[in-house]
Structure 1
Amino acid sequence: MALVAVIAAGGSLAGWGAFSVLLDKTNSLEFCVSCHSMKGNYEEYQKSPHFKNASGVRAVCSDCHVPKALGHKLMAKVMAAKDVWHTVLGTIDTPEKFEAHRLDMAKRVWAKMEATDSRECRSCHSQDAMDIHKQRPKAQTLMQKGLQKGETCIGCHKGIAHKMPDMSSGYKSLFEDLKSQAAAKSGSADTLYSLESTPFYAERPDGDAGKGDGNVYPMTKVKVLERKGDFVKVEISGWVQEGVKRLMVAAKARRIFELSMTDAVANTMTLGEAEVDPDTTLSWQTASITGWAKTAAFTADQAGLGHYGAEMASAACGACHSQPQPGHLPANQWIGVIKEMKDGTALGTEDVRLLQSYFQLHAKDMPNAGH
């Protein structure tokens, strides 16, 4: 019995030793980059501070992607089976395929790291050992703000070891889907939402439509009154500041732009009684107006349009820091924030208009705040 116990113990130790060696082997840089599909990743990594830096400390793949605690580590190894499966399938076996999937893969990794409060980052980078005053002035400011807000490492340090994916590809794809499905989904709908800025006409144009008598802004809600050819007659309801009728907004005292128009068109609006906003002491009136616009500029898919706005916010804001939630600020304050930040993004003028409307319509002082 003693001999059996010794043999069993020896076998267990040998088995555990072999298993430990195997784990260490699969954590090595050589093992991680042995797959053909990792060639591009390895080249990107070699250009990063994690591969070569002034202090001579190198972080390999497993330092960032494999937990140190045994239980979490074993779970990560089990989950890695999907990588083997996709290698067999050839899902990312060419640079073109890899780029097509880069954004989705990056988002999954970022979400995983956010869920663990950047656990693997913190295994090397300790806040207690960090001398913030030795960082560059801009980095000091950003780091202190991030720490005060309780943000996690990956919120601001995406792309630290790999090339950043094309963040715009996600929301651009959603926009193309919305545009292609707009006619099918909005053909008989009574309520539509503008996908983009589009001219507004007092009368339905014949021939060359021209620049119009006004402009409908992105995400504006309209009521359908009539359809004729490529145009739709709509009713737009909102608020105007008393004496400033050329600009209609979505809510009283909140500059969520719905429609700008000429004086002649503004004079055809139906106006309600003036109401004083207690915060600004300005007078506002309910307003409604009818006119024509191109059907192709609208969709009935409000949820899809909201998803598009959220994806754009994630791409534009989440690339540099933790994505802000629309319900964090009141509607009017978002105008200044977006104006200040837009030059640091790749957004065009029309993108900025939609992003501003998205944040404002979901602001903390709107009925659907936080959604």
Structure 2
Amino acid sequence: MDDSALKALEAQSASTPASAKTLYAVSNTVLGDLATVYPATQMHVLKSTETSRLVEIRGSQMQGSEQVIYYAAGQRLILASLSEKGQQSLNIFSDWKKDDYGNAWRDVALQGEWSGSALASREPMWDYARKLDNVYCAGCHAPIPAKHFTLNAWPSVAKGMGARTNISENELDILSRYFQYNAKDMHE
């Protein structure tokens, strides 16, 4: 697949209105010196200026992996990777709580200045992901509904199948995130 669909998505993200209250990263993008934010991560806009926005990312942290913000406890959808400064800047909302597997999780949020482009909705990214699914996946098998697997299962499934195609790493990441955000155990 050529990169025209991705370029159109990036162009759309560059024209997101300054009044948008929620943003979604299109590609791996730095949040100042605090973190790298991954595609489709939801950022709540707290304040806007002409050149940047103060955003907040909410998620969960797993004990032993404090450099990562996950979507929720037990759901290993990575929203952001934190620098040392990012780890120290977190707002912590709960104590560590163990899940059924013995992993301890806590609810956190990170605030930072966002100056990159982003979408006001995930839907354009999901349209792109469905095109990727059609181009790279449907050539070998019938479409597999996103709800067929769990959020935690999808990355391995997508990576295993993606290895048999010429899908780029960025395209595979977006496709995997589409499947994860629409998985059978996802509750937004």
TM, length-normalised to structure 1: 0.47
Q: Is the 8 A contact 2:55 2:113 kept in 1?
A: yes
The answer to whether residue 185 in structure 2 is matched with residue 365 in structure 1 is: yes
Q: CA deviation at 1:230?
A: 4.3
For 2:129, which of 299, 302, 309 is the aligned residue?
309
Q: Is the 8 A contact 1:234 1:290 kept in 2?
A: yes
d(CA) in 2 for partners of 1:266, 1:233: 17
Match of 1:120 in 2: none
The answer to whether residue 69 in structure 2 is matched with residue 248 in structure 1 is: yes
The answer to whether residue 95 in structure 2 is matched with residue 273 in structure 1 is: yes
Q: CA deviation at 1:229?
A: 4.7
How do 1:321-332 and structure 2 match up within 5 A?
321-332=141-152
Q: Is the 8 A contact 1:185 1:301 kept in 2?
A: no
Q: Which has the higher helix share?
A: 1
Q: Is the 8 A contact 1:200 1:293 kept in 2?
A: yes
SS at match of 2:186: coil
SS at match of 1:299: coil
Match of 2:113 in 1: 292
Structure 2 gaps, min length 5: none
Q: CA deviation at 1:306?
A: 1.7
How do 1:330-369 and structure 2 match up within 5 A?
330-367=150-187
Structure 1 gaps, min length 5: 1-167, 202-211
Larger Rg: 1
TM, length-normalised to structure 2: 0.89
Q: CA deviation at 1:237?
A: 0.4
- The Cα RMSD (Å) is 1.9
Query: Per chain length, whose mean CA-contact separation is higher, i.e. which structure has more relative contact order (CA < 8 Å, sep 6+)?
Result: 2
Q: Is the 8 A contact 1:230 1:295 kept in 2?
A: no
Q: Which has the higher strand share?
A: 2
* CA displacement 1:45-68 (0-9 Å, x = unmatched): xxxxxxxxxxxxxxxxxxxxxxxx
Match of 2:9 in 1: 178
d(CA) in 2 for partners of 1:343, 1:273: 40
| Matched positions, count | 187
Percent identity over paired residues? 25
* CA displacement 1:110-131 (0-9 Å, x = unmatched): xxxxxxxxxxxxxxxxxxxxxx
Match of 1:239 in 2: 60
Q: CA deviation at 1:255?
A: 1.1
